[in-house]
Amino acid sequence: MNATTATLSEILLSSSRCLAAVQTGHSLTEALVKLPTHLRPAVQSVAWYAMRHWGLAQAWRDFALSRKPAKPWLNCHIALSLLLLDAAMIEHGQAKEASPQTPLDKQCPRYTPHTLVDQAVHAVELAKLGKPASGLVNAVLRRFQRERHAFIKAVTNNAVAQWNHPAWWIRKLKANYPADWQNILRANQTPPKLVLRVNRRRASIEAVMSELLAAGHHCHALGENAISLEDSAVVTALPGFDQGHWSVQDLSAQRAAPLLDIKNGQRVLDACAAPGGKTAHLLELADIELTALDQDPMRLARVADNLTRLRLMSDKVSLRVADARAIEQWWNGQPFDAILADVPCTASGVVRRHPDIAWLRRESDVMQTTRLQQEILDALWQTLATGGRLLLVTCSVFQEEGEGQAQAMLTRHADAKRLPAPGQILPCAANARAPGHDGFFYAVFERKACNR
């Protein structure tokens, strides 16, 4: 047992440092794993909440300060403290109405306004930034308590504060989805529920459900293979985890493997496999000879761990660290009957589960990943058997990475024929009855015989 209990000032200090890491291009996950374990759960909940409301937090900070402090950490700390103070004032009846951007969702960390201000100032002292910095934080927060309405009014026409995404992202979604952009942005700001995919080789959906219910987890079945949990839980502590009875996988991602329509005995390639969610699903569906590639050795090790836990490892599975584009380095010349190309993408469809993504991406990333995807697809196409299927998957909502990529594929490859597939799936928020789902794109191509 860990005897150390984190104080609120320590939580605020570490959260602000994690948020500052995101500003310099590091993912929140990367920043969180570096923290001492006793701080991690509380910092994660504060930092995720902040990322979902980061447009508003930064706009309020900019309204409060004529000049930003030079220290990135202090900048983030002021923005974060304003956001949490707003939530605290609503919770404790010190604010007449919730501001439109800060509904008190279940994930909102709850403190009293007095404690919050006191501990936010103390965090600056812990960071040894000196009296002027702690005085500044104190003054900004006290002003917010007095003038909250003015802060809210000041950002009413600020789209970034309203939608909590960068301006270029909002512009792009408006252009791509004139009727749906607001629903997409709203869905991105709602936390997802936990969804499991049952490993049909190890357990039935009925057996997994009864184990979960017996352990006190409210859950319900979604179709033949998926289960949605009502409340958040520590995944590794849920019944059936060690036994490999299920995997955590969003409903949209669960649609991938069946689209390849694989049969026993086929040679299948999973070209961008890590951490292996879809690799495992393929192996659950048929007795295949599977090659799983990924260029990242650390991530590929997670595929091995997952397949081992799910009891899916066998001599018919081979894991290779390789760049999918360099086929001469990993392909033995025997064509594959089916290829899963879950290519690297901006991940703009999974912002609800990784809210830092919206703040990590730059507009130029879209063009760069689109080019990388094209190179991977062109290399993989050469390894596909005539009559074989290639499934293009991205967890993105940007059209360049979805329909644009699929159309370009048909233009470059005269022997590619498009088969029916879901196409663009937009993210959908969870509600009391359904867990919602992530945004994904799916296109399936068959390789026709080509008369050259």
Closer to ligand SAM by Cβ: residue 113 or 349: 349
Residue ranges of alpha helices (H) inside 92-222 are 113-126, 131-154, 159-163, 167-176, 181-188, 205-214
Beta partners for 194?
229
In this structure, is the dihedral angle defined by the CA atoms of residues 88, 92, 95 and 101, taken in order, positive or negative?
positive
Strands 317-321 and 289-294: parallel
Whole-number Å distance between alpha carbons of 132 and 416: 65
How far apart are CB 8 and ligand SAM at their closest, in Å?
A: 36
> Is residue 297 reached through a cis peptide bond, with omega within 30 degrees of 0 on the bond before it?
no
Percentages (nearest 5) of helix, strand, coil residues in the chain: 45, 15, 40
Strands 246-248 and 226-229: unpaired
Token pair recorded at residue 33: 């794993």
d(CA 261, CA 268): 11
CB of 242 to ligand SAM, least distance (A): 20
Q: Least distance to ligand SAM from the beta carbon of 220, Å?
A: 24
Q: How far apart are CA 17 and CA 22, in angstroms?
A: 9
Q: 219, 395, 428, 450: which one is catalytic?
A: 395
**Position 157: which residue type?**
N
Q: Which residue is nearest to ligand SAM (CB)?
A: 272
DSSP assignments along 239-251, one per residue:
TTTTTT-EEE--T
Residue 407 CB partners (closer than 8 Å, separation 6+): none
Question: Least Å distance between CB 271 and ligand SAM?
Answer: 6
Strand partners, 336: 384
- 395 carries an active-site annotation: yes
CB of 415 closer than 8 Å to CB of 382: no
Residue pair 258/442 in contact by the 8 Å Cβ criterion: no
CB of 281 to ligand SAM, least distance (A): 8
- Residue 94, token pair as written in the block: 């010190």
- For residue 195, the minimal CB distance to ligand SAM (Å) is 14
CB of 116 to ligand SAM, least distance (A): 38
Q: What is the spatial distance between Cα 331 and Cα 375, in angstroms, rounded to a whole number?
A: 16
Residue 286's alpha-carbon distances to 26, 268, 289, in angstroms, are 38, 10, 9
- Whose Cβ is closer to ligand SAM: residue 81's or residue 291's? 291
Report in angstroms how near the CB of residue 279 gets to ligand SAM at its nearest.
7
Q: Which residue ranges make up the site for ligand SAM (CB under 6 A)?
A: 272-278, 293-296, 299, 323-325, 342, 344, 376
d(CA 349, CA 365): 15
Catalytic residues, which ones? 395
